[in-house]
Structure 1
Amino acid sequence: MTSSYLRRRTALAGVALLAGQAMLPAAHAQATAWPDRPLHLIVGFPAGSSPDLTARALAEPLAKALGQPVIVENKVGAGGNIGADAVAKARGGDTIGLMINGNLTIAKLLNPALRYDPATDFAPISLIGVAPLVLVAPVNAPGADARAFLDAARAAGNTWSYGSPGVGTVGHLGMELLKARTGIAPVHVPYPGYSQVFSGLVRGELQLSMLPPALAQTQIAAGKLRGIGVTSAGRSPLVPELPSLADAGVKNFNLEIWNAVVAPASMPPAHVAKLAEVLGAIVRTPEMRAQLFQQGWQAVGSAPEGLASRIKADTQTLGAIIRAQNIRVQ
């Protein structure tokens, strides 16, 4: 072989190598593109429920942003825990879940036999929306304001009763937290649901309760209940006419209900990060903020770290009440 022939071969090989290297990023990106199939969004509550409405509001813009269909699946039962368990056990990287705060914080504390563990089985993606509870009372309740009402509740001791939609619900735990923070002592009366709690208040069987803002506002506006205050740290745009209980002198009291999107802990971190970025952008749009507000939520659209912090804080706060009173549900 001549030296010129060898030089030509060497030059051609170098060009081919450079061309191959130039193609690697595109080929690698194509091989790792995600999602490459429909995404399943599991909801542990029935169609038409608040979590279901939120999931379906998110599904269409999420599908558009990801370039794949997003299929909402209702796996109903056990206060959302059946759906949560399905998300925790999912494999394949194509399943996420829309859950409420209880499923992601205190579920295992309330029922140690639960088949999933909120602390280890999920990868937080984004906190979607938050809302306070509203402390309500009959329209003829004593006290001109929240402070005076709580003074009357302290004076009444255990002669007053409060209602909730069941043991271990946020209405139950929220009231027990308020008792611990204020020294009031009403007796808990569990009911099958919020409609029965409302009826008990109207009939005078109950002296107070904590209701979701949408339900509370409807009854307050109709003159059937009196709003005392909200459980968030400050006034809420969802119920702007009511003070916060913290502003009324209740110390170390900040309780909100919320919903969030999580993935199984097995989902690759890069996929979690992509979903968090996309969902956060969707939730923070004016259109989605308005839609969530109509559903009774103040939009957030947090990063995974923000959701993880909320899960930890709420688990600590409500976990202390659960442990102190040995509250359990089956």
Structure 2
Amino acid sequence: MPIAPPRRALARRALLAAPLALPAAAQTARPVRLLVGFPPSAIPDLVSRILAPALTEALGQPVVVENRPGAGGALAAEALLRAPADGQTLMMMAQYLPVLPAVQRHVPFDVGDVLPLAGTAQAPLVLLVPPGLGVRDLAGFLALARARGESLPYGHSGLASAPNLAMALLRDATGIAPLAVAYKGEPEILNGLLTGAVECGFGFLAGASAQIRGGRLQGLGITAAGRAALLPAVPDFAELGLPAVRIGAWWAVAVPRATPPAVQARITGAVRAVRSMPETRARLGAAGCLPLDLEGAALAAFTAVERDRQLGLFRRLGVQPE
């Protein structure tokens, strides 16, 4: 059964089509490019377009979102590092970039030359099962998974993908051993769940929430610190006694490391101001995201911990650069 586009998808299309209203001071200023390494309508693209109008106000310059999809964000990072380090070119860096050398054999730049300045958003995942599986909560699912072993198939979108890493954490924490079934991406995982091709899997809140609210899928737990406004009835894994099952996608505004400190501070302050706006936080929540309220040393520490954790999971899963 194909997935019907939720209202949020229509809102995304309207957002992408809407012209950017610029303040008077920005209409004659030099534009700032915000590079996104993913296609239009992907979650990082939507986050960028939520932030861009308010960043235009905060910086006094038009902020233009520019999609450079491909190679896990490497094409956008290359474009960032080729541009002058003057604050006129920014990047919406994803959590995937620091571990790129572990999954891509030839990365034509030093990932350490991309400096994350200020967090923007994070997108947790939700453990999904079809109602026909006959479980009501995580405890029931784990009992079934232990009884079924490898006869219980789960969907993922690649060994290094967030849905597969989330299942790896759940396996490590509980001892279950479901059978991996690979798909091209998250929409295909959701279709696999809806058609019965797989019986469990992780998906991002943005894509899964409409299916949960419509009763076509059940959400058993989310990989965030606290419940999400989009799915308030679904507990987080820490609440369920599994605090180690915490992973997802996250994004931060980044610049070339050679960018002058004063420019870095200006951009960081603008992102902080925009991120703290109630309307920004509400729009991120409606898109299945949570704000990532980190910057500076705290963001650097967070990035290092997340990088090391991902690399550890890659080693356990046998991920090799291709």
Shared fold, TM over 0.5: yes
Q: Which residue of 1 aligns with 2:89?
A: 95
Letter in 2 for 1:163: G
Q: Indicate the residue corresponding to 1:174 in structure 2.
A: 166
Which amino acid in the other structure matches residue 192 of structure 2?
G
Q: Within 5 Å, which residues of 2 pair with 1:18-57?
A: 37-57=30-50
Q: 1:284 to 1:79 in 2, by over 3 A?
A: same
- The answer as to 2:103 corresponding to 1:110 is yes
Matches within 5 A, 1:187-226: 187-226=179-218
Give the letter aligned to residue 59 of structure 1.
A
Q: Matched residues in 1 for 2:239 and 2:139: separation?
A: 9
> What are the equivalent positions in structure 2 for 1:189-268 lying under 5 Å apart?
189-268=181-260
Alignment partner, residue 69 of structure 2: 76
User: Which of 108-117 and 192-201 deviates more?
Assistant: 108-117
User: Structure 1 residue 89: deviation in Å?
Assistant: 3.7
> Post-superposition shift, 1:203?
2.3
TM superposition shift of 1:301 = 4.0
Letter of the 1:185 counterpart: A
1:197 match: secondary structure: helix
For the pair 1:161 / 2:153, whether they are aligned, the reply is yes
For residue 307 of structure 1, what is the aligned residue in structure 2?
A: 299
Task: Pick one of 101, 121, 126 that aligns with 2:113.
Answer: 121
Residues 206 and 289 in structure 2, CA contact (< 8 A), matched pair in contact too: no
Match of 1:145 in 2: 137
Give the total of aligned pairs. 293
What is the CA distance between 1:281 and its match in structure 2? Answer: 0.7
Q: Displacement of 1:297 after TM fit?
A: 1.4
* Distance in 2 of aligned mates of 1:217 and 1:311: 27
Question: Counterpart in 2 of 1:316?
Answer: 308
Residues 186 and 203 of structure 2 are in contact (CA less than 8 Å); yes or no, is this contact kept in structure 1?
Answer: yes
Equivalent position amino acid for 1:97 in 2: M
The answer on whether the counterparts of 1:123 and 1:272 sit within 8 Å (CA) in structure 2 is no
After superposition, the CA RMSD in angstroms is: 1.9
Q: Distance in 2 between matches of 1:181 and 1:116?
A: 36
Q: Distance in 2 between matches of 1:233 and 1:73?
A: 31
TM-score, with structure 1 as normaliser: 0.82
Aligned residue identity for 2:114 = F
Equivalent position SS for 1:211? strand
Residue pair 2:119, 2:295 contacting (<8 A) in 1 also: yes
* Alpha-carbon distance in 1 for matches of 2:99, 2:231: 26
Rg larger for: 1
Counterpart selection for 2:127 from 135, 145, 154? 135
CA distance in 2, matches of 1:273, 1:70: 17
**Deviations, residues 17-57 of structure 1 (Å, cap 9, x unaligned):** xxxxxxxxxxxxxxxxxxx8432211112223222222222
